[in-house]
């Protein structure tokens, strides 16, 4: 006989299971786009899409990896033509990274695939999406530091300026 689990433990288990499902959705969406971008590289592209131009160290902080790992990852993304380096006009020592048009297109296509999969799943499970569930997920995302969808796209729009210049 298994011991009874506490409400927080049940919630953690449900979130762990859901997080595996979300990662699976992202991996499948990335595979459908047929690109040679890895999941960690996609995370870096999404950070740039949502936060705008950043330094390599900022991306490493955001992804919680060592600065050298962040630099190697962004070097690969630059080599693939998905990210470009831009020197600051105020301080030539500062190099920022921003998405190219190709990088934006990958993020857009993967996110569209993910959204379509989520819409299908939500439609199949429509009976469980009570306001309390949606509110709990929203509060969870906010506590994790995720921004609302409309703000995420605003960051993307600001990042799009001059993105096709290399």
Structural domain includes residue 1? no
CATH of the domain at 67: 1.10.10.10
Q: Would you say 27 and 39 are in contact if contact means Cβ atoms under 8 Å apart?
A: yes
Q: Are strands 95-99 and 83-87 parallel, antiparallel or unpaired?
A: antiparallel
Burial profile 87-97: b = 16 or more Cβ within 10 angstroms, e = fewer: eeeeeeeeebb
Does residue 9 belong to any structural domain of this protein? Answer: no
The answer as to whether 4 is a domain residue is no
Is residue 44 within a helix (H) or strand (E), and if so which, with residue range? helix 39-51
Average pLDDT, 10 consecutive residues per value, the chain (166 residues): 79 91 92 90 93 91 92 95 90 88 95 94 91 90 78 49 42
- Answer yes or no: is 36 within a domain: yes
Residue 13 lies in a domain: no
* Contacts for 26 with CB less than 8 Å, ≥ 6 apart: 39, 42, 110, 114
Burial of residue 67 (number of CB atoms within 10 Å: 0-12, 13-18, 19+)? middle
pLDDT digits 0-9 by tens, 24-41: 999 999 999 888 999 999
Whole-structure pTM value: 0.78
Question: Bridge partners of 83?
Answer: 99
pLDDT confidence of residue 5: 81
Q: What is the pLDDT of residues 59-86, one digit of tens each?
A: 999 899 999 999 999 999 999 999 999 9
Residue 14 forms part of a structural domain: no
Write down the pLDDT at residue 13. Answer: 92
Q: State the pLDDT at residue 40.
A: 93
- Predicted pLDDT at 65: 94
The rounded mean pLDDT for the chain is 86
Residue 32: which domain range?
Answer: 21-143+150-158
Asked, for residue 12, whether it belongs to a domain, the answer is no
Q: How many domains does the chain have?
A: 1
Give domain status of residue 15, yes or no.
Answer: no
Q: Please name which of 52, 50, 101, 95 lies closest in space to residue 75, comparing C-alpha atoms.
A: 95
């Amino acid at each position: 006989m298994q011991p009874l689990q506490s409400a927080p433990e049940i919630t953690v288990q449900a979130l762990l299971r859901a997080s595996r499902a979300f990662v699976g959705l992202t991996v499948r969406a990335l595979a459908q786009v047929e690109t040679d971008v890895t999941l960690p590289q996609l995370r870096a592209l999404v950070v740039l899409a949502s936060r705008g131009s950043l330094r390599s160290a900022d991306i490493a902080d955001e992804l919680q990896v060592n600065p050298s790992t962040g630099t190697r990852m962004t070097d690969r993304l630059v080599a693939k033509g998905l990210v470009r380096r831009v020197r600051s006009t105020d301080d030539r020592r500062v190099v920022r990274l921003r998405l190219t048009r190709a990088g934006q297109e990958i993020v857009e296509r993967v996110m569209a695939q993910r959204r379509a999969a989520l819409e299908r799943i939500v439609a199949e499970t429509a009976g469980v999406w009570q306001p309390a569930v949606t509110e709990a997920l929203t509060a969870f995302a906010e506590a994790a530091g995720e921004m609302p969808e409309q703000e995420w796209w605003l960051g993307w729009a600001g990042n799009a300026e001059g993105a096709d210049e290399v």
